[in-house]
Structure 1
């Protein structure tokens, strides 16, 4: 049963979009970081310039520095976004000389500013600020003074500049996703076109068309195309075998049916009861052969085309002994010496279907009875062979020509024999049963004359069940 899942097209599109989204997101994060870094570099340069401008505006009066903030410094700090600005000037000992906001400058910050320029972020009155602190050595007429200048402004301008720098990257990302979706869809459609052509070719085929495929496919689909070709080849061979089987079965059925027709026509022309009796005997014999042939055809078809039922553990010794007793009572066995020998009663059970194994044993015994002269000894035996159980049927008859042994087991193959009313399906049924049970078949002539047919079946690890 075929279960329909998400289409291959949607899976490929999903993976492509996921990969593009992840890659684009990484690029966006990188662009966001770079935009903020660039904005910080620009505005930090403004803070440094404002601090230098303030330092240049400091004047000396009575050998004391006087803070006079130039308007240019305030314009630099405020910028075009009219941000709030901060400035403060401290002496070496931390005394404030002037400033516009009571924004606290921590002693640790001042200590760091004495060593090198400082840039840091802080919060004041629930507003985020960016501060810059720098120490300057200023010389008066008669003394030198080390002053520390702190300047700062709010971050609105930085954010605006960062967003301005980031927006082109965001637009490129959106265009990239749209382009990836468009061209990805076209690429997927183009990549799946050979599958559609293959589908259309199979869909338009006639039911009996099992010729090889004729299509150009990419390398990734070569295995699929080869598998389909192999399947069509098996179907073609199976169809040819089926047609041959039907033809052979029709020929086999034609013979006894023709005998029934001839016997009935002759009986209709006779008026004597003895002639009718002979005709009825012929009709009965032909009907018996036809019935047996139909039963074998049914079993052969069942073994070939009906799925196996759940296997059971079967005592092959008991099953073979039971089958041998049944055939010993058949009229065809009265002229033969049919016996059973359990060479190894410690054999384990086999796993399989009882009816199929019974059919296998019955056909082997029936073949031995049909194709050996009267008075021949036929022995059914069971023995253990490693992890297998071997079932054998041997006789002391004339055997089979070595050149014909390989053909035994094919439907309607009788090794050139025409002197018996057989169908040639017995060993074919045996082979089907063996294939169904993963076993092995071996046929050979005995050294002292006669034929040996042995079947090896794997043992089961479970106790046997009773069979009837």
Structure 2
């Protein structure tokens, strides 16, 4: 399954990050609009309560030693609305004694000022209650009293809904406009990314030329990163083409020699000539097989996807096994092959076949270039693998060149020029440091010591 099937698009992610906060903010604005509408409705109707209580207070008089009022119908009519609220009023003296009214309304204990308001539950009804503290206007008798006026909340709720609906319609219109602007803005902002994607898709897969597009600064950095990647790929392809050319040349030469030798042997009638030809062909076949094996090893090292997982291995076992594998061929060539290891195991995090391949190539190189004594050694502090020989060595000026594929350390050598290149690749794969130094600096020949220093953090 393609990895883009289930992954969210950048367009969708941007919309989510922009629209979700906008929706949350819009919800908060709607809640605030509702409370603002309710407060506005309360203030409007509270003024009606205040006006009605003032009209009632102006009608309060003292008659026959008691408070008395003649309530005009207009005082209560001003509280009525289309919602047909129920209206209540009451007059109380300074001692909280009910004097007159159509309902005995409760007092308001808290608050200050001549007029106070509160919401109450009274006989299973929700009321808005206003209480006015006043006194008689006469200069002889300024007896205090309270006028309590209340009505049900139908009119307030109707006005709240009307105000809120108006605010909600305006907010919805603004939200739709904002969403449209966000959708258009995100699409326009991502247009350069779409252009970059189309330019990449339209490219010839065989070309590695750099991208040339005018892009915003953030995408220009991505373009430069892609161009850097393409430049590295061009270098890799050039190296691969050079490697393929060298490999084909290296393989074509021994194969052509085999064909020519076989053709020459077929023209002979002497069985001994055939036997000599078969011996030469066998040697050429061995060299060709060795070359093919080294080419495969180098190819595996250059492919990071085929890199196996490193494990803890004993370097002493690797060194002993490499000596055992090469002992027979070295013995036939008259080469003294030995191994030096500590008495205990030396554990290293590594890939076993790669280290075995490195030691095999180092032993093979030393035997091909004139060594009569080869020693494989395992060391500690720091952990290291080394192969030392008494051959002609490698001049200092050549030590970097011999790490290149198909470069031979000396003219007329029998090697393919891949051994040290493979060892260098294995060293880099293990983050190890590869050094080539004379085994005996003041002797002639100086010999060669090839050493792999492993990093301390990878040592168990």
> Which of 386, 401, 418 matches 1:407?
401
Q: TM-score, normalised by structure 2?
A: 0.90
CA deviations 1:63-84 (Å, max 9, x no partner) are 5443111122112122454321
User: Structure 2 stretches of 5 or more lacking a match?
Assistant: none
CA distance in 2, matches of 1:451, 1:333: 22
Pick from 242, 260, 264: which aligns with 1:262? 260
C-alpha displacement of 1:140: 5.2
Q: Deviations over 1:417-457 (max 9, x none)?
A: 23132211111111222223222211123413122110123
Q: What SS does the corresponding residue of 1:412 show, helix, strand or coil?
A: coil
Give secondary structure in 2 for the equivalent of 1:420.
Answer: coil
Structure 2 CA distance for partners of 1:142 and 1:368, relative to 1, 3 Å: closer
1:279 to partner: Cα distance: 2.6
After TM superposition, list the pairs within 5 Å mapping 1:50-449 onto structure 2.
50-62=52-64, 64-101=66-103, 103-106=104-107, 109=108, 116-139=114-137, 143-305=141-303, 307-330=306-329, 334-342=333-341, 344-346=342-344, 348-372=346-370, 376-386=372-382, 389-415=383-409, 417-446=410-439, 447-448=441-442, 449=446
Given the superposition, is the C-alpha separation of residues 113 and 223 from structure 1 closer, same or farther in structure 2, using an over 3 Å criterion? closer
Root-mean-square deviation (Å): 2.4
1:365 Cα deviation after fit: 0.6
Q: Judge which range, 288-297 or 306-315, deviates more.
A: 306-315
- State the Cα deviation string for residues 45-89 of structure 1 (Å, max 9, x = none): 111111111122234544544311112211212245432111111
Hey, what does 1:465 align to over in structure 2?
A: none
- Judged with a 3 Å threshold, the aligned counterparts in structure 2 of structure 1 residues 391 and 461 are, in CA distance, closer, same or farther, namely closer
Q: Report what 2:38 is aligned to.
A: 36
For residues 366-402 of structure 1, give each alpha carbon's deviation from its aligned partner in whole angstroms, at most 9, with x where no partner exists. 10111125xx32222111123xx21111222222222
Contact 1:333 1:369 in 2 (8 A): no
> What is the TM-score with the length of structure 1 in the denominator?
0.89
Contact 1:352-1:437 at 8 Å conserved across structures: yes
Aligned pairs, how many? 452
| Cα drift, residue 461 of structure 1 | 6.2
| Counterpart-to-counterpart distance in 2, 1:71 and 1:429 | 111
DSSP-derived class of the 2:452 partner: strand
Query: 1:114–1:239: structure 2 CA closer, same or farther, 3 Å change rule?
Result: closer
Q: Which moved more, 1:294-303 or 1:244-253?
A: 294-303
| Structure 2 Cα separation of the partners of residues 263 and 412 of structure 1 | 24
